[in-house]
Amino acid sequence: MESMKRYREPSNARALWQLLTTLVPYGLIWVLMSITISFSYWLTLPLAVLAAGLLVRLFIIFHDCGHASFFRSRRGNEVLGFITGVLTFTPYFHWRWQHGIHHATAGDLDRRGCGDVWTLTVREYLECSRWRRLVYRLARNPVVLFLVAPIFYFALAQRLPAAAASHRERRSVWITNAAIVALGLIGAQLLGWRAYLLIQSTVLVLAGAAGTWLFYVQHQFDGVYWQRSASWNYVAAALRGSSYYRLPAILRWFSGNIGFHHIHHLNPRIPNYHLRKCHDEGPAFRQVKPLTLLSSLKCLSFRLWDEQHEQLVGYPQLH
């Protein structure tokens, strides 16, 4: 949309302020956690929840860098993308490449499998072997999806490059891994291995669960758009295949406005700090039905895509 172009221009001042109000509190909370962990883990846990929220916000900054939308400078985005990638355990160039595929294929039934939640159609599920059905049910189980999968993804899967990755993307993985190890050695030297690993793993698990939930409800909601490639349309996939997750102000702050995901998919070059204004000033966007915290809980019941009725369904509806 032509009217969206004016929101694409990054603001270095707003970007720096967002970075300052995220990175500084994150560092301070780490200092507090390093002090409280020597007394009791239960004193550290509430601080870890705050740190996890800030880590989600840091990931959104990392995400914007990947779209070259956070700073005006390409080099600035790449440098900050690498730094925030180390903090979020995510290799910048490798993730940027895979995330670009996600944007180009979201909502396309014939191009599933990169940067999305594993989703089978009803027919595919019924044609699966008993073993594959069991694996799929485990993968879609909320405990696995929001607890086990984020740990596996951020701690293990991101440590190895994909087979199709280019040299730069592979190098991004190895350099990020080395930086994470170096950061861990420094943390262990200052706090001790046990304290560092306990704090880092707690923050990473909580942030991973929250981030995975956000990503899940952005593309797995009632009324979502999925089509075969022959009928797939980019604008429809953005506006109907990505949700408008209307969150309370405090959660909107921690999630970096990523709830305006339909706008982000329509124009990924809009920085997160312009998304709300773009939404509020665009009459067409106000017609998009929002998800609320309460209504988003229904998303937990969805398991399969019913091509015949063009809707997500749960296992009971198979019968």
User: What are 125-138's pLDDT values in tens digits?
Assistant: 999 999 999 999 99
Give the pair of three-digit tokens for residue 170: 């592979």
Which residues pair with residue 227 across a beta bridge?
Answer: 108
Separation between Cα atoms, residue 154 and residue 240, nearest integer Å? 28
What are the C-alpha distances in Å from 79 to residues 23, 27, 64, 66, 279? 15, 19, 12, 11, 29
Answer whether residue 262 shows pLDDT above 60.
Answer: yes
Q: Give every CB contact of residue 308 below 8 A, 6+ residues apart in sequence.
A: 122
How does pLDDT run across 70-102, given as a tens digit for each residue? 999 999 999 999 999 999 999 999 999 999 999
Mean pLDDT, range 244-251, rounded to an integer: 95
- pLDDT at position 1, please? 58
Task: Spell out where the chain has E strands.
Answer: 120-121, 304-306, 311-313
Closest CA to 107 of 234, 249, 196: 234
**pLDDT higher than threshold 60 for residue 307:** yes
Helix, strand or coil, per DSSP, at residue 199: helix
Beta strand pairing call for 120-121 and 311-313? unpaired
Structure tokens at 113: 């499998």
Q: What's this model's pTM, rounded to 2 decimal places? A: 0.94
Kindly state the average pLDDT of the residues 302-316: 93
